[in-house]
Amino acid sequence: MKYHIDELKKIQEEIASSISLQDKYAINEIELVVGVDQSFLEFKKNKTKVISCCVVFDFKTLDILEDEFSVEEVDFPYIPGYLMFREGEPAVKTVRKVLRGERAVLLVDGSGIAHPRRSGLACYIGLKTGFPSIGITKSKLVGEYDANLEVGKAVPLYHEFTQVGHVLKTCDRCKPIFISPGCFISMETSLEVVRRCMMGYKLPEPLRIADKKSKEIRNLLLR
């Protein structure tokens, strides 16, 4: 795949202009929450492959209902800030395998609007699938925040004088996670959904399990 950074920036800016930060449905109307995570198989002689994994949870009980994965070749390199061009379409295809017309929210391992052009991976997946999406990362891509965090507390994440998300410290001995809306969901609802999905670990349970499963699949394929 040939690419030019200026062209990719324009695409991201167009996507950012289409993002809605209005709740598609109220939090008490959410039926499912889906963890979306990806792992990679890197080969010296063959093309890189991406493993896209989705795990579907009942939002009220956090019981696992279904999981699905796909494996595809990718020809776009790893470039921070441009993950949607590497991971976006494989993730979208996998989400569509498990979701139809349910009222679901996607928890994506990647940035939402906490991104230099307000257009992270979670924005792309949400916009393309039509499902509300939340970006969650373990490290900061952009922004500033008050680092004096207590467990269970969240503070706003700002970038260029605009709030782009929240920073939440989820456990005593772990660094905080960065939460930002992707599409079709508000800043406040994004944080509340993540809070309701916590089960004592650093990551919300749907994303933790999706991460675990993607790595398990990766290890099986490497045998």
**44 pLDDT more than 70:** no
Please give the structure tokens belonging to residue 21: 């930060």
Per-residue pLDDT reduced to its tens digit, 150-208: 999 999 999 999 999 999 999 988 999 999 999 999 999 999 999 999 999 999 999 99
Residue reference for tokens 């230099």:
116
Q: What's the whole-number average pLDDT of the chain?
A: 95
Q: Hey, what domains does the chain have and what are their CATH numbers?
A: 5-140+179-222 (3.30.2170.10)
**126 pLDDT more than 70:** yes
Q: How far is CA 8 from the centre of its chain?
A: 20
**1 pLDDT more than 90:** no
Q: In which region does residue 130 sit, left (phi positive, over 0), alpha (psi from -120 to 50) or beta (all else)?
A: left
**123 pLDDT more than 90:** yes
Gap between the Cα atoms of 105 and 130, Å rounded: 10
Taking alpha carbons only, the member of 180, 199, 83 closest to residue 140 is 180
**pTM of the full structure:** 0.95
Q: What separation in angstroms does the CA of 55 have from each of 67, 105, 129? A: 4, 12, 16
